[in-house]
Structure 1
Amino acid sequence: MFSASDSHVSEVGPGLESQARIYTRSEHCISRAQISENALKVLQRLKKADYEAYLVGGCVRDLLLGREPKDFDVATNASPEQVKQVFRNCRIIGRRFRLAHVFFGREIIEVATFRGSEPEESDQHVIHEDGRLLRDNVFGTLEEDVWRRDFTVNALYYNIRDFSVVDYTGGMQDHANAVLRLIGDPNMRYREDPVRMLRAIRFAVKLGFTLHPQTEQPIYTQAELLKSIPAARLYDEVLKLFLSGYGVQTFEMLRHYGLFAMLFPATDKCLETQDHEFPRLFLIRALENSDSRFADGKSLTPYFLLAALLWEPLQLAANKRIEQGEHETLAYQNAANEVLSRQIKITAMPRHITQSMRDVWFLQGKFSKTFGARPYRLLEQPKFRAAYDFLQLRAETGGADPELVDWWARFQLADEETQRVMTAPPRGGNPKTRGKPRRYRGRKKSGTPQ
């Protein structure tokens, strides 16, 4: 599919000899019209200052796919300090690897200095005993930088000097074959940074690529390495995995490789031990809802999906407490504390997220109170809409009463007189709840917080 002009490149790293394939402007589909005006400014000014400058990574990959990149990243032989001398609107960030951010209003162009390929035990290059790379400020050349990147399709360099694409790793061919392949030895690369396993899943799903067999196989045996990753970083990865419009496929793929169990062990245990499909159906429906909102350009709230991901563990923990004689309201509060305290050790969810999750959970039991003033008070709750949507998803998968969902749908839109009639207690009936709680489709009896 692709042709190229070859140019020999010197040795890159111990025993590594590479030959760059140069794809001229006529041999690829990238046009400057597709590139951010500010990214072009950065490339041109670095070039004018006599530095090498390339677009690199996901933006090149996406441009080749005909997609609009979310960000434009630049690689250069200029150090962060030298970049700052070229751009007044620049700030140096990062500890593990220093980067230069060039600001153009709301748009930020990230400029990274080429990384060196030689491992060195120094203040600049620190490796943990388990193989993880903790700090990496060893600068190098373009030829060395290539081998420090993760996947071949992310290691393509767009050269502003002649508008060519430089390919050292066969990334253009992998791109044409829709294959995602790690650069270097997969076992070592996953040990350096176990998050690469999550990135492999995310990119494969997002791009519609298949994993190269050598990239795929170690994931089955190295999933446990994710336990060494800081919880704050895993939380960020979870948001990227599930809130980028491909949640359903990502969920299925993570479970296939045993990675979901590393991120949400309590949920995975529920899915493995349940003798019916309702927990999984509920999760799939919640993910489909998020994917649909993403496709429609609507806002996504992390707490809603996280509440869905941990709903079944909450139910099981609360029911266990209720069976031991604990009051239902207290049981759900304590169960929420238990479930969340365990989860934040794995994915460090911020307090405002966990509080919103609690709100959605605890409002579920209040929907059955459809008489008197309680429905009006529930409507005034800040998280009412999210809680109602959550109830609706539960009803769609057999976990709540569809008639109750319908009642609330009508109540929200009704005029004042109709609402008064709807909330009037039945003569001789229970003034607090609308009928006895129902059991659905063979589900084990499960309460909801009051």
Structure 2
Amino acid sequence: MINKPTKKVLNGLKKKGYEVYLVGGCVRDLILKRIPKDFDIITSAELKEVMRAFSRCAIVGKRFPICHVHLGDIIVEVSSFSTSGRKFGRDFSYEFERPSGCDEKDYIRWRNCMQRDFTINGLMFDPYAKMVYDYIGGIEDIRKAKVRTVISANTSFQDDCARILRALRIAARLGFRFSKETSHFIKHLSSSILKLDRGRLLMEMNYMLAYGSAEASLRLLWKFGLLEILLPLQASYFVQHGFRRRDKRSNMLLSLFSNLDKLLAPDRPCHSSLCFAGALLT
């Protein structure tokens, strides 16, 4: 289920003696036997060493640097343990006790997982040892079909309000529910997403609507009071038709996106303009 470009990057770094792992949502999706939207690689190599390993490779991002490895028309993103801490903002791992019996390699993996958003995204997979590393209960939450923040939801969402939208997107795509704490703070802090710039909001909405889970995403946005913030005209449509927050019924807008979802997949999205045109039709 791992695509060829990703395998090529994994093999290229492994042959040079570096540790390589798949990390994040792609590991969760592989466990669930679902097609990942993309693959994230993390390695013990420095980014400059990744650059030397591949002929077409560039370091992108000043604040959160990663490597883009170009293989034909495909770009494979590679991060390094040495710089990945910057990507997640504040490093909360220092606020938690280091696990007992944790050697240096475990400590490096644990610290990286502690900086991620949700437990089900905090898994690492070594494809050569065929081993999944889980330090924060991600496997158990996959079994329970639950979205739960790694640290307290209040702290997590205040540190990065975009995680609220990410939580809804993940739950919609997988059909998962939220932990009680996560659900509470999604509602309580929903208005904080207005801090995000318009470009980021458009990107998050595109992820929700264009990859095969638009209907479920709209239902969750409506349930948690975010539809009024992101798509006020569509929220007004729901109100006019007497649609309740936990309503199981459908309406014209939901039916439209339900039919679109049947044609799409995480690795086969539609162009964002089609989604937003569909939303405006109502």
TM range, smaller chain: 0.7 to 0.9
Report whether the alignment pairs 1:145 with 2:112.
Answer: yes
Alpha-carbon separation, structure 1, partners of 2:85 and 2:61: 21
Alpha-carbon separation, structure 1, partners of 2:263 and 2:127: 37
**Match for residue 21 of structure 1?**
none
Distance of aligned partners of 1:52 and 1:290 in 2 relative to their CA distance in 1, 3 Å threshold: same
Report whether the alignment pairs 1:73 with 2:67.
Answer: no
Alpha-carbon separation, structure 1, partners of 2:228 and 2:147: 23
Report deviation, 1:103: 1.6
Report deviation, 1:310: 3.8
Alpha-carbon separation, structure 2, partners of 1:293 and 1:48: 39
Q: Deviations over 1:290-318 (max 9, x none)?
A: 223327x9974533442343456xxxxxx
Report whether the alignment pairs 1:166 with 2:136.
Answer: no
Percent of aligned positions with the same letter in both sequences?
33
Of the three residues 242, 262, 266, the one matched with 1:292 is 262
Report deviation, 1:62: 1.3
**Match for residue 306 of structure 1?**
276
Checking the alignment, whether the CA contact within 8 Å between 1:186 and 1:214 is kept in structure 2 is yes
**Match for residue 159 of structure 2?**
192
Alpha-carbon separation, structure 1, partners of 2:181 and 2:88: 27
Q: Deviations over 1:71-127 (max 9, x none)?
A: 2211112222221122222111123311101121122221012267989xxxx9978
Distance of aligned partners of 1:117 and 1:35 in 2 relative to their CA distance in 1, 3 Å threshold: closer
Of the three residues 182, 185, 188, the one matched with 1:218 is 185
Alpha-carbon separation, structure 2, partners of 1:195 and 1:47: 34
Local SS of the residue matching 1:237: helix
Alpha-carbon separation, structure 2, partners of 1:72 and 1:118: 19
**Match for residue 428 of structure 1?**
none
Q: Alpha carbon RMSD of aligned pairs, Å?
A: 2.8
Which ranges of structure 2 fall in alignment gaps of 5 or more residues? 91-106, 244-249
Of the three residues 18, 43, 47, the one matched with 2:14 is 47
**Match for residue 26 of structure 2?**
59
The one-letter code sitting in structure 2 at the alignment partner of 1:303 is S
Alpha-carbon separation, structure 2, partners of 1:281 and 1:107: 38
Q: Deviations over 1:129-167 (max 9, x none)?
A: xxxxxxxxxxx9322211111111111111144221111
Return the structure number with greater relative CO, CA threshold 8 A, min gap 6: 2
Q: Deviations over 1:313-355 (max 9, x none)?
A: xxxxxxxxxxxxxxxxxxxxxxxxxxxxxxxxxxxxxxxxxxx
Alpha-carbon separation, structure 1, partners of 2:21 and 2:177: 27
Report deviation, 1:36: 2.5
Local SS of the residue matching 1:69: coil
**Which structure 2 residues correspond to residues 24-39 of structure 1 after superposition, within 5 A?**
34-39=1-6
Report deviation, 1:48: 3.1
Distance of aligned partners of 1:46 and 1:299 in 2 relative to their CA distance in 1, 3 Å threshold: closer
**Match for residue 231 of structure 2?**
264
The one-letter code sitting in structure 2 at the alignment partner of 1:232 is G
Q: How many residues align?
A: 259
Local SS of the residue matching 1:40: helix
Local SS of the residue matching 1:169: coil
Q: Deviations over 1:366-419 (max 9, x none)?
A: xxxxxxxxxxxxxxxxxxxxxxxxxxxxxxxxxxxxxxxxxxxxxxxxxxxxxx
Report deviation, 1:270: 4.7
Distance of aligned partners of 1:147 and 1:232 in 2 relative to their CA distance in 1, 3 Å threshold: same
The one-letter code sitting in structure 1 at the alignment partner of 2:56 is N
Checking the alignment, whether the CA contact within 8 Å between 1:261 and 1:268 is kept in structure 2 is yes
**Match for residue 281 of structure 1?**
251
Whichever of the two has the greater Rg, that structure is 1
**Match for residue 417 of structure 1?**
none
